[in-house]
Amino acid sequence: MNKTKIELKNLAFFARHGLMKEEEALGQRFRLDVRVEIDPSLDLSADAPHITINYVELYALVKEIFEGKRFNLIESCADMIARSILEKFDKAIEVSVTIKKPSVPVDCICDYFATEVTRCR
Distance CA 45, CA 16 (A): 43
Active-site residue list: 101
Distance CA 114, CA 45 (A): 36
Distance CA 94, CA 39 (A): 9
What percent of the chain is helix, strand and coil (3-state, nearest 5)?
35, 35, 30
Residue 93 · residue 38 · CB < 8 Å: yes
Helical ranges in 1-121 per DSSP H: 21-26, 55-68, 74-88
